[in-house]
Amino acid sequence: MAPSGPGSVRRRCRRVLYWIPVVFISLLLGWSYYAYAIQLCIVSMENIGEQVVCLIAYHLLFAMFVWSYWKTIFTLPMNPSKEFHLSYAEKELLEREPRGEAHQEVLRRAARDLPIYTRTMSGAIRYCDRCQLIKPDRCHHCSVCDKCILKMDHHCPWVNNCVGFSNYKFFLLFLAYSLLYCLFIAATDLQYFVKFWTNGLPDTQAKFHIMFLFFAAAMFSVSLSSLFGYHCWLVSKNKSTLEAFRSPAFRHGTDKNGFSLGFSKNMRQVFGDEKRYWLLPIFSSLGDGCSFPTCLVNQDPEQPSTPAGLNSSSKNPENHQFPAKPLRESQSHLLTDSQSWTENSTNLGKGLSNPALTMENEN
């Protein structure tokens, strides 16, 4: 076996360094468990009823926090399916053609039957030279992961993972439960924190854990509340972090609300149709991450007139460059009104597969 080169060593070192924030959060979480459950509840609390209530509530929040954090870290980000990859012949054509209209013509033919509506800012087809594929809507290339990620939101160093279609719900729940975790600790620790400054606590090591625990919980509560509030706003507008900074471009131009379908439907797109799963870190998002309904489809004269593109096959492909493939059923029903969706959902059934599992099977 050939020895590893300098580039390989650097990559391995970077991979190790990327885990430092995760290790830091894990150590901080472990210390907070010891400080709250042992030093505060068992050592400092004198009321048995208060101990029981605090310990039960604390362990519930702790379990949900760890569960959602684990899912955010170890859920693999999804990549575009094989239909978006160029064939060997198309790759050869691209290599022969210079950058320009001829290059774009090859991509237009390759993208003819793909469910894509977005373009680059210059109006060209979104193509990734690194992965050699046509980017689905809302897909971006992550320089850290060196992959194209479906509905990429951002690369988060605190989870050492890309936050995208497959784990965005888990990331939101991680923010929510970590915020509740910190608020609960700060609220129940407050009276003992006050006793620390008024010399109402016995002179033991518990008093220092209580003091630092309150400071840490209060500090993280402020930062997490702003971050969680921002992502709640993004969900309500059906935007990713990248789309909030740079609006998606369609044929008619950029539109910051191009994927917004209204608050209720935007929520369902991330959390799913069944509300019993909303608060659990279990995948329930709609769709496959490769196609998304947009309120602007019908405003595009070169796109099908029906929301799901059901009549696209009856039209001449020469008349438009993207006779879009029908949206996946779980996404296209979001374009209909609430009443018709309720009627159709009964017929569609509940057998939605987890695209994360599909991705693992393909790999």
What tokens appear for 274 in the block? Answer: 């069944």
Q: Which long-range contacts (CB under 8 A, 24 or more apart) does 213-219 make?
A: 213/32, 213/35, 213/36, 213/39, 213/40, 213/185, 213/189, 214/185, 214/186, 214/189, 214/190, 216/28, 216/32, 216/182, 217/32, 217/182, 217/183, 217/185, 217/186, 217/189, 218/182, 218/186
- Straight-line distance from the first to the last Cα atom of the chain, in angstroms, rounded to the nearest whole number: 25
Q: How many residues does the chain have?
A: 363
Q: Which amino acid is at 187?
A: A
Distance CA 38, CA 208 (A): 13
Active site residue 156: yes
Question: Given the DSSP bridges, would you call strands 249-250 and 127-128 parallel, antiparallel or unpaired?
Answer: unpaired
What tokens appear for 38 in the block? Answer: 């042992």
User: Choosing from 156, 162, 182, 290, which is the catalytic residue?
Assistant: 156
3-state SS assignment for residue 162: strand
Distance CA 47, CA 267 (A): 42
- Residue 162: phi and psi, rounded to 5, are -80, 135
Alpha helices in the chain (DSSP H): 6-18, 20-33, 48-74, 88-96, 101-110, 168-197, 206-237, 241-245, 263-271, 329-332, 338-348, 355-362
DSSP state of 157: T
Helices 206-237, 168-197: inter-axial angle, 10-degree rounding? 150
**Exposure b/e, 156-186, CB count within 10 A at least 16 = b:** beebbbbbbbbbbbbbbbbbbbbbbbbbbbb
In degrees, to the nearest 5, what angle opens at C-alpha 175 toward C-alphas 59 and 43? 30
Catalytic sites, residue numbers: 156
